[in-house]
Structure 1
Amino acid sequence: MAASATTLRDLIAAGADEAPALSSPGGVPLTFAGLRALADRTVADLNARGIGRGERVAIVLPNGPEMAAAFIAVAAGTTSAPLNPAYKADEFEFYLTDLRAKLLVVAEGSESPAVAVAEKLGMAVARLKPTPDQGAGSFTLSFAEEAGAPASEGGLAQEGDVALVLHTSGTTSRPKIVPLSQGNVCASARHIRTSLAFTHEDRGLNIMPLFHIHGLIAGILAPLSAGGQVSCTPGFNALKFFAWMEEVKPTWYTGVPTMHQAILGRAGRNREIIAGSPLRFIRSSSASLPPQVLRELEETFGAPVVEAYGMTEAAHQMACNPLPPKTNRPGSVGLAAGPEIAVVGSDGEPLPTGETGEIVIRGPNVMKGYENNEKANAEAFTRQGWFRTGDQGTLSEDGYLTITGRLKEIINRGGEKISPREVDEILLDHPAVLQCVTFALPHDKLGEEVAAAIVLREGLAAEEKEIRGFASERLAAFKVPARILILDEIPRGATGKLQRIGLAQKLGLA
């Protein structure tokens, strides 16, 4: 049934009644029958409170099985709006107001500033009480107010209804609302399931945050749509990863490059666990995976590492490297894996193979448009109906996509255009360099100068001068960073991504 599911309720119909759907380290699994019953009960509870199809329910919960189950159960009949629990009061006020949420769901006993903000805004609050003895993620909702009139449009959501609303990260402007329909998220889950050949025998270990598209779709929905199981952790923790791996015996996991690097940092002392829990594959997405890290992961785990390319507006996945025996091309994000992909020039027309231009997409997983933002939509969609990703790249003759950078991140040094990723990859070849982010540094004459923030490997030393010398033997002089900052840690975004835009300001260099 889930082969062509167009709603979340159809999607979770894939698993056998008694098969485990959600689990958590140390917990009792929740079966597919249990997850379906939970979704139906939650929709009925929300409908009885006057919250029906298309109405928004903000969810502020810690990572874990309850967050996964609440996202699915709420979106089965209304619209889920997961928010980062680490937000401060003024951020909650912006997001809750912007979303026009009708209800806020928080954990029982939660001290989140979101509660006071919801009360100030006159928004209803529901408390979620986990019932782990009924299965990981199962819960009951309690409401402070008496039930009013039931929802005018109740029941299960339909294909065109909005299942999920998220905001763009808003690195350069006000965050935009991305409404994703039931059809969008189900199409993306299906694309990921197909590219990773998920079956009911797969067991994922989810370490991704569940207020972000990568975790929600690739971490949770795609494997569930094949009747597989997902073990939901309380969030990424490199110190606990191998204990979880030993207990859960996952067949795969997905993460962002900084997570993979932290896992590699502890892999040496956990070789027995790695040997005893063989993985079918490892997936990486949300930021470019340096080829050096990909090789080290494959050697350490003895499993293929599949790099994929996603974004919120596409309900996550757009391209993905294929599993063996097909060719996995390190440094590329693989083949179109869902939507159509093209590379176009400034006129919006497709460019010849191998030429660099803007990556554009169209397909069933792509949103129809940003909410209440005609200006952004006019800029985001071409006349031919393609969505502009804002990324620059090339397509090979056999269809492999390589991203050369974000258009907004390209460094313009006195007219010379530099892709920060190219500089990253050179600096990461230095034996002492563990992490690197190349970014634009404001310059009074050139406009922008090249700078790089670096974290060194434990126990190894290197000076700025030596690293610059290493770079100058391998890069044209104008691409060599004028400044190299050696840091203990590079600032990163909420999902663990290293962020180039605004890094000069964050480091006090602007």
Structure 2
Amino acid sequence: MSTNTLAHLLNPASSSDDSIIIPDGPTLSYAQYSDEIERIAGLLAGAGVKPGRPVSIVLVNNLEFMVLFLAVARAGAIAAPLNSAYTVDEFKFFMEDADSQLAIVPPGTHLGRDAADQLGIPVLDASLDGSKVVLSNSGGNITKSADAQAPSPDDVALFLHTSGTTSRPKGVPLTHANLMKSISNIKNHYELTPEDTSIIVMPLFHVHGLMGASLSTLNSGGSLVIPERFSASSFWGLQKDNNATWYSAVPTIHQILLMRADDDNAPHESFRFIRSCSSALAPAVFERLEARFGAPVLEAYGMTEASHQMSSSPMPPGKRIPGTVGQATGVEVAIMDMAATGQLQKTGDIGEIVIKGENVMHGYNNNPEANAEAFVDGWFRTGDQGFLDAEGYLSLTGRIKELINRGGEKISPLEIDGILLKHPAVAEAVCFAVPDEKYGEVVHAAVVLNGDTDQEGIRAYCREQMADFKVPDVVYIADALPRTATGKIQRRHMVTAFAEGK
């Protein structure tokens, strides 16, 4: 069995060290966790799970998920985790697109179960008995075990879908070798050791929570604290009780923790580092985070097709430059001309960010048209626009398809977001394009306030900070901004949420 697979992910300094800590639940040592993965892999094989085919995992952040994910991979099958909050139609699309052989769901009524039943996909329930995972179906608990086939590095281990920010979600198959390279890159970059403990606040069905925080920590021999969901009110208690050394989150969660910091008696010296990823972190939020929590903030850049991380701010004493996503981490990063002819840009020139590396997928699932468009001369096109400076620090200027074209002037939404967030009364902000008869598109913005101001006050502030053509024509004051389950803002939904019918 090759060691470059998820079957050899766990890397404890001692098998008695804690691996998984469930608040108000069990704590598993590495020995217990490893035994449980092997036991469940055998039960899956005994239940007829075939190597090389996906298994849809419809579970929240819990011990069952962490065992089932690695057990499916250990059995040579493909883990296909799904957001447990999907609708029946969403479950059906993702299960059918993956050609799932089995769905694993919680006991009781669940839309994931309904979707699988409608598609004729067998279902197993996953529950917990103490620290043991129980698999069952209508016939009772699964007890028959068989030898699980060991995976190889080139086997697909994980099947996910793109977030579909600009189009229909595409299937992304990632091999064991892809994942292990990404995990190694993350572990090495953040200098993770068995002394580290990470609080998991991101969903495990997404690469940020799964790869960026969980599997990388397990590969370092560290410990994971896994609450079922993020709760700002209990976050600092978990940090203190478990001596947690880091966490990774989207800017939304960082901003929530900042807004509540004083009320929650958050410490002024906290983690070894704080990681931010999956959405742009405004420089103003970066500075407030470091000042309030007394820890270096490292912004990372990742995407599903790259098994997550591509670049990150360096660890101290390296420079952290707000507004950048740091330097490449075990991946080649370059800037290609916007026509995607294969011509690479000079330092400082803006273009499309392209990548190469062992962590990059080999191609979308059954989608030759998308693959022909996505790869140029061996480079994968990220769809993001940005530039590299002389020291290799990468700055993102926006999703290419989200740039606002106002009368021929191309406007970066990230730039406007960053300026809005510098306003002392603005807690959250997003700008977006709205169709316009005269200019083609104009800029609108939505904000959540934490102070006293109004639309005209914000627009006046913007006029002091940016050229007139970039100033939002309309600013919507909102109680909250619509987000995906992973905390991302999808700009294409903002017009429907705020501008239509206004």
1:184, 1:366 within 8 Å by CA — same for their partners in 2?
yes
1:58-457 correspondence to structure 2 within 5 Å: 58-77=56-75, 78-109=77-108, 111-131=109-129, 133-134=130-131, 138-144=132-138, 154-271=148-265, 274=267, 278-345=270-337, 346=339, 347-382=341-376, 384-457=377-450
User: When the two structures are superposed, what TM-score results if normalisation uses the length of structure 1?
Assistant: 0.94
Deviation for aligned residue 1:433: 0.9
2: CA distance between counterparts of 1:145 and 1:395?
A: 59
Deviation for aligned residue 1:440: 0.3
Deviation for aligned residue 1:235: 1.4
1: CA distance between counterparts of 2:230 and 2:330?
A: 28
1:59, 1:81 within 8 Å by CA — same for their partners in 2?
yes
- Cα distance change, pair 69–477 in 1 and its aligned pair in 2 (3 A): same
2: CA distance between counterparts of 1:232 and 1:66?
A: 11
1:101-152 deviations in Å (ceiling 9; x for gaps): 111111223x211112212221111111213x33xxx41212336999999x
2:61, 2:227 within 8 Å by CA — same for their partners in 1?
yes
1:439, 1:500 within 8 Å by CA — same for their partners in 2?
yes
1:57, 1:81 within 8 Å by CA — same for their partners in 2?
yes
2: CA distance between counterparts of 1:499 and 1:102?
A: 31
User: When the two structures are superposed, what TM-score results if normalisation uses the length of structure 2?
Assistant: 0.95
1:52, 1:155 within 8 Å by CA — same for their partners in 2?
no
1:43, 1:156 within 8 Å by CA — same for their partners in 2?
no
Question: What runs of 5+ residues in structure 1 fail to find an aligned partner?
Answer: none
- Cα distance change, pair 208–5 in 1 and its aligned pair in 2 (3 A): farther
The 10-residue stretch of structure 1 (9-18 or 248-257) with the greater mean CA deviation from structure 2: 9-18
1: CA distance between counterparts of 2:259 and 2:250?
A: 15
Which residue of structure 1 lines up, in the alignment, with residue 497 of structure 2? 506
**Matched residue SS, 1:469:** helix
1:433, 1:454 within 8 Å by CA — same for their partners in 2?
yes
1:231-272 deviations in Å (ceiling 9; x for gaps): 11111122222222232221100000000000111111233x
The alignment yields a C-alpha RMSD, in angstroms, of 2.0
**Matched residue SS, 2:372:** helix
AA of the residue aligned to 2:151: A
1:364-407 deviations in Å (ceiling 9; x for gaps): 1100000000000011110x110000000010111111111110
2: CA distance between counterparts of 1:375 and 1:285?
A: 29
**Matched residue SS, 1:428:** helix
1:183, 1:364 within 8 Å by CA — same for their partners in 2?
yes
Which residue of structure 1 lines up, in the alignment, with residue 464 of structure 2? 473
Deviation for aligned residue 1:62: 1.6
1:53 to 51, 54, 57: 51
- Cα distance change, pair 506–453 in 1 and its aligned pair in 2 (3 A): same
Deviation for aligned residue 1:156: 1.8
AA of the residue aligned to 2:211: I
1: CA distance between counterparts of 2:369 and 2:62?
A: 37
**Matched residue SS, 1:269:** coil
1: CA distance between counterparts of 2:165 and 2:382?
A: 15
1:260-313 deviations in Å (ceiling 9; x for gaps): 000111111233x525x7310000000000111111111111110000000000
2:43, 2:144 within 8 Å by CA — same for their partners in 1?
no
The 10-residue stretch of structure 1 (25-34 or 192-201) with the greater mean CA deviation from structure 2: 25-34
1:50, 1:150 within 8 Å by CA — same for their partners in 2?
no
1: CA distance between counterparts of 2:13 and 2:26?
A: 17
1:51-110 deviations in Å (ceiling 9; x for gaps): 13211110111222322222122222211111101111111111111111111111223x
Percent identity over paired residues: 44
2: CA distance between counterparts of 1:34 and 1:79?
A: 23
1:103, 1:123 within 8 Å by CA — same for their partners in 2?
yes
AA of the residue aligned to 2:8: D
2:233, 2:264 within 8 Å by CA — same for their partners in 1?
no
2: CA distance between counterparts of 1:5 and 1:448?
A: 53
2: CA distance between counterparts of 1:116 and 1:421?
A: 40
1:411, 1:420 within 8 Å by CA — same for their partners in 2?
yes
1:256, 1:286 within 8 Å by CA — same for their partners in 2?
yes
2:60, 2:228 within 8 Å by CA — same for their partners in 1?
yes
1:283, 1:305 within 8 Å by CA — same for their partners in 2?
yes
1:475-510 deviations in Å (ceiling 9; x for gaps): 111111111111111111111112212310232427
2: CA distance between counterparts of 1:299 and 1:293?
A: 10
The 10-residue stretch of structure 1 (6-15 or 447-456) with the greater mean CA deviation from structure 2: 6-15
1:303-346 deviations in Å (ceiling 9; x for gaps): 10000000000010000100101111111000101210000102
Answering whether residue 8 of structure 2 is matched by residue 10 of structure 1, we say: yes
The 10-residue stretch of structure 1 (397-406 or 7-16) with the greater mean CA deviation from structure 2: 7-16
**Matched residue SS, 1:507:** helix
Question: What runs of 5+ residues in structure 2 fail to find an aligned partner?
Answer: none
AA of the residue aligned to 2:327: L
AA of the residue aligned to 2:210: L
Deviation for aligned residue 1:199: 0.2
1: CA distance between counterparts of 2:143 and 2:241?
A: 46
Which residue of structure 2 lines up, in the alignment, with residue 491 of structure 1? 482
1:202-221 deviations in Å (ceiling 9; x for gaps): 00000101111100001210
2:11, 2:218 within 8 Å by CA — same for their partners in 1?
no
2:11, 2:220 within 8 Å by CA — same for their partners in 1?
no
2: CA distance between counterparts of 1:263 and 1:186?
A: 32
**Which aligned segments of 4 or more residues in structure 1 are displaced greater than 6 angstroms?**
146-151
- Cα distance change, pair 449–508 in 1 and its aligned pair in 2 (3 A): closer
2: CA distance between counterparts of 1:72 and 1:150?
A: 17
